[in-house]
C-alpha cells in the first residue's frame, strides 16, 4: 500500500504540482516589437492587457518570443504584457496601474528610449517611477523579482544633425541609457537587476556581426539590428533583446537554445545568424556577472 501511495504522490506532483511563474512585461514599442514581424508573433500564447486593435489583433512581441524560448527550455511561464507606443514608465504608472497592480512573480519594465522624452538622457523620471513601481509590486508580492530593460542606441539620434548624440560613436547612447538604468536600479532596493540589451547591441557592432550605421548601407555578411526607420528594431534586434531577457530572468544560457531554435527559424534566420545572436547574448550576460 505504501508503494501505491508513493506512486500516487509522485504522479500528483508531476501533473498538478508544477505552477507556472507569472511574468509581466511593461513597456512601449520596443517591447511590443513595432515595425517587425515580432509584433504579432504568437500573440495567442500571451495575455495582452490592452484591448485588441481595429483588426482584432493583440500584441505578441518580446513577451511572446520570451514565452517560446522558455517553452523550448522546458520552463513554464504565464506571460502578460501591457504596452503603449512612445510612453515611459510614468505613463504606465499614472494611467495603467489598476491593470498592473497584482501579485506577479517577475516583472520586466522598459521605459522611454531616451530615458525622458522631454529631457533626453536624463534618468530622473525613470528613477522616480522605478521607485514607485518597486513599492507597488512589492506591496503585492514581497518576493517579486523586478528587472529593468535598458534599450539600444537609436541610429536616428546619432547620425542626424541636431540630435543629442550626433557626432558621438553609435555605442554612446546605449552606454548612457545603460548608466541611467543603473542609477534607477541603485535608487530602488527591490530591483533585481538591469537587462543590458543596448550593451548587447554594442557587442554585436564590435564583433562586426551587425552594421553600426544603417544610413550608409549594410555591409556584406552583416545584419541590420534596426528597422527601416533606424529607430525601432528589426527582427534581429528584437530577437537579441528577447535572448537577453531570457538569459537574465531564467538564468539559462541563451546558447542552450541551439541553432535550431524555433523563433529564429520562424523569422527566417540562418543557423549561423541564430548561433551568432545567441553567442552575443551569452557573452554580454557573462560580462555583467
3, part of any domain: no
For residue 9, tell me if it sits in a domain: no
Q: Which three cell numbers stand for residue 201?
A: 547591441
Instruction: Report yes or no: 237 and 222 within 8 Å, Cβ to Cβ.
Output: no
Instruction: Look at residue 19 in the predicted model and tell me its pLDDT.
Output: 77
Phi-psi region of 221 (alpha: psi -120 to 50; beta: other; left: phi over 0): left
Q: How many domains does the chain have?
A: 1
**Which burial class, exposed, middle or buried, applies to 116 when counting CB atoms under 10 A from its CB (0-12, 13-18, 19+)?**
middle
Quick check: is 11 in a domain? Answer: no
* Rounded Cα–Cα distance for residues 234 and 230 (Å): 9
**Position 2 in a domain:** no
Straight-line distance from the first to the last Cα atom of the chain, in angstroms, rounded to the nearest whole number: 50
In the chain, beta strands by DSSP E:
21-27, 47-48, 77-83, 106-109, 145-150, 191-196
For residues 275 and 267, give the distance between their C-alpha atoms in angstroms, rounded to a whole number. 14
As a whole number of Å, the CA-based R_g of the chain is 19
Mind listing the pLDDT tens digit for each residue in 200-227?
999 999 999 999 999 999 999 999 999 9
CB-based contact 205:145 (threshold 8 Å): no
Closest CA to 86 of 27, 151, 127, 159: 27
Which pLDDT does position 97 carry in this prediction?
98
CATH of the domain at 87: 3.40.50.1110
In a domain, 29, yes or no: yes
What is the C-alpha separation between 35 and 239, in angstroms, rounded?
13
Residue 4 lies inside a defined structural domain of this protein: no
Burial 126-137 (b: 16+ CB within 10 A, else e): bbebbbebbebb
Q: Locate cell 522624452: which residue?
A: 117
Query: Between the CA of residue 149 and those of 127, 191, 216, what are the distances in Å?
Result: 13, 11, 29
DSSP state of 264: H
Cβ-Cβ contacts under 8 Å for 193 (sequence gap 6 or more): 147, 148, 185, 248
Alpha-carbon distance of 15 to 1, in angstroms, equals 21
Render each residue's pLDDT in the chain as its tens digit; 289 residues.
444 434 434 444 443 445 799 999 999 999 999 999 999 999 999 999 999 999 999 999 999 999 999 999 999 999 999 999 999 999 999 999 999 999 999 999 999 999 999 999 999 999 999 999 999 999 999 999 999 999 999 999 999 999 999 999 999 999 999 999 999 999 999 999 999 999 999 999 999 999 999 999 999 999 999 999 999 999 999 999 999 999 999 999 999 999 999 999 999 999 999 999 999 999 999 999 8
What pLDDT digit, counting tens, does each position of 245-277 carry?
Answer: 999 999 999 999 999 999 999 999 999 999 999
Cell of 188: 530602488
Q: Which domain holds residue 99?
A: 18-287
Residue 13 lies in a domain: no
In a domain, 43, yes or no: yes
Amino acid at each position: 500500500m505504501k508503494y501505491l501511495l508513493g506512486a500516487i504522490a509522485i504522479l500528483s506532483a508531476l501533473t498538478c504540482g508544477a505552477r507556472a511563474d507569472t511574468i509581466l512585461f511593461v513597456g512601449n514599442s520596443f517591447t511590443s516589437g513595432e515595425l517587425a514581424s515580432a509584433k504579432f508573433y504568437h500573440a495567442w500564447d500571451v495575455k495582452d492587457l490592452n484591448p485588441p486593435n481595429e483588426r482584432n489583433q493583440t500584441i505578441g512581441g518580446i513577451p511572446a518570443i520570451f514565452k517560446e524560448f522558455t517553452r523550448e527550455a522546458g520552463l513554464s511561464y504565464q506571460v502578460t504584457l501591457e504596452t503603449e507606443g512612445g510612453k515611459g514608465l510614468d505613463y504606465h504608472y499614472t494611467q495603467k496601474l489598476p491593470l498592473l497592480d497584482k501579485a506577479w512573480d517577475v516583472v520586466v519594465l522598459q521605459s522611454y528610449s531616451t530615458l525622458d522624452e522631454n529631457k533626453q538622457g536624463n534618468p530622473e523620471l525613470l528613477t522616480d517611477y522605478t521607485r514607485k513601481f518597486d513599492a507597488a509590486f512589492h506591496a503585492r508580492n514581497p518576493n517579486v523579482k523586478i528587472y529593468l530593460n535598458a534599450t539600444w542606441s537609436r541610429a536616428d539620434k546619432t547620425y542626424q544633425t541636431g540630435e543629442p548624440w550626433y557626432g558621438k560613436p553609435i555605442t554612446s547612447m546605449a552606454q548612457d541609457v545603460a548608466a541611467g538604468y543603473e542609477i534607477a536600479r541603485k535608487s530602488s532596493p527591490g530591483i533585481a537587476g538591469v537587462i543590458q540589451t543596448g550593451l548587447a547591441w554594442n557587442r554585436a557592432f564590435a564583433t562586426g556581426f551587425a552594421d553600426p550605421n544603417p544610413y550608409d548601407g549594410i555591409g556584406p555578411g552583416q545584419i541590420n539590428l534596426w528597422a527601416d526607420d533606424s529607430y525601432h528594431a528589426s527582427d534581429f534586434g528584437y530577437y537579441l533583446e528577447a535572448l537577453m531577457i531570457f538569459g537574465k530572468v531564467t538564468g539559462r544560457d541563451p546558447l542552450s537554445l541551439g541553432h535550431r531554435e524555433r523563433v529564429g527559424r520562424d523569422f527566417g534566420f540562418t543557423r549561423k545568424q541564430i548561433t551568432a545572436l545567441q553567442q552575443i547574448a551569452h557573452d554580454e550576460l557573462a560580462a555583467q556577472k
